[in-house]
Amino acid sequence: MSRVETVLGGGVAGVACALFAARLGPVRLYARPRTPAPALESVPAATLTLLLELGITPAELGVHRLTRERVVAWDSSTPVAHDGPACAHVDRSVLHNALWARVERDPAVTVTGSLDAALPEFGPAGPGWIDATGCRAVTAAAVHRPPRTWTAATVTVPLTEPAGLRLAAAPDGYAYLVGGYRMVTVGWVGPGRPPRDAAELGSRIDTAGAGWLLDGTGLLDVPGSPDHDGLRPGGDTVPAAVSTVRRPAGLAIPVPAPGLGPISIGDAALTRDALASQGLSIGLSDACLAARSSTTPDELAARRADAARRHVKHLREMIESCRFAAAPAWAEYTAWLRPARPSSGRLRS
């Protein structure tokens, strides 16, 4: 494959790809620095090793330990503790800022305005271009999405007690918690109207029968929630306002434009449902692989197609094992998954 010369998109995958590619020569990055809201995500321990290649240490990310703890209420209403592979819970905003700090110090990376500045050049663009524009997938011919967009609403609040990863199924979606160093991220994912703020998010999860997932977070004590008494466990005052981040969630399968063109990585290649995958770690892995001069377009296309097939299979299995699989929201999702046949997206080298 031609050396990566241009990267579209300033998220984690795009900035990491630019840094990996800069080790081989000059790179243009079409993006603008931004400050995303704090949000913890779980990544395999091996991802920390990959980040060390860019000089980013676990301590810089605030990762002080690995965790195997998972408490899940999926096929039954009773939460069950499991041991899983060792993972780190990383704040995406801290990682994003660490990557951008290195871009600003790397003379081989030229940050060129915004993504919109690159689009007029897209027509003749070919080898050496990377699309890391996330779920926008600006260079895709089309994007296949479920009939109703599933939206993730998340809030990140100070940690009141140690927490690992928690997951709970509901008839109209699912709730999760990822605990890190001094903070936790709580999320609700579903096809209906997303919660507007922290109080509504806590109430939605509690009403769905997953109030146990909120233990120690204080979310049911946020002003506006049904059980608000103004204090967290231990007597700490709960902030009156906690921002909630809403974004499209669920599976989305971009269809590559025909012929020679940019290589898509991360969410621009396959926007994974967090229920069945670790999108952050896969985006970083994509970025490293795409930046290697020895990687061919066909190899990346085959990886993308295989990843889509595996993800759809895993997602089907997760939904089938859910105790609410027959509920309308999940049944509709399952029906859409059955005929899903991701394109191979083969590119001519």
- Say if residue 313's pLDDT is above 70: yes
The letter for the amino acid at 269 is A
Start-to-end CA distance of the chain, whole Å, equals 7
CATH topology of domain 150-247: Alpha-Beta Plaits (3.30.70)
Assigned fold of 6-59+86-141+251-337: FAD/NAD(P)-binding domain (3.50.50)
* pLDDT higher than 90, residue 52: yes
Q: In the prediction, which pLDDT does 34 show?
A: 84
What global pTM score does this model have?
0.89
Residue of 304 and 188 predicted with greater confidence: 188
- Percentage above 90 pLDDT, the chain: 55
pLDDT at 348 over 80: no
Per-residue pLDDT at 229: 41
Name every residue whose Cβ is closer than 8 Å to that of residue 202 and which is 6 or more positions away in sequence: 186, 214, 217, 219, 220, 222, 225
Residues 6+ apart with CB under 8 A from 77: 209, 323
**How far is 30 from 119, CA to CA, in rounded Å?**
10
Same fold, 6-59+86-141+251-337 and 150-247: no
- Residue 190 clears pLDDT 90, i.e. is over it: yes
51-55, 65-69, 135-139: least confident range: 135-139
Between residues 81 and 239, the one the model is more confident about: 81
Length reported for the chain: 349
For 84, phi then psi, to 5°, come to -125, -175
Tell me the two tokens of residue 348. Answer: 């001519």
Alpha helices (runs of H) in the chain, residue ranges in sequence order? 12-22, 45-52, 92-105, 198-205, 279-291, 297-321, 328-337
pLDDT for residue 118: 60
Instruction: Please write the tens of the pLDDT for every residue from 220-256.
Output: 776 555 544 433 434 344 443 456 788 888 888 888 8
Q: What is the pLDDT of residues 255-302, one digit of tens each?
A: 887 766 788 999 999 999 988 878 899 999 999 999 998 988 888 888
Q: How far apart are alpha carbons 219 and 198 in whole angstroms?
A: 7
- The 3-state DSSP composition of the chain as helix, strand, coil percent (nearest 5) reads 35, 25, 40
Q: Where are the domains of the chain?
A: 6-59+86-141+251-337, 150-247
**Which of 266 and 121 is assigned the larger pLDDT?**
266
- Joined tokens for residue 179: 């605990």
CA distance 311 to 161: 33
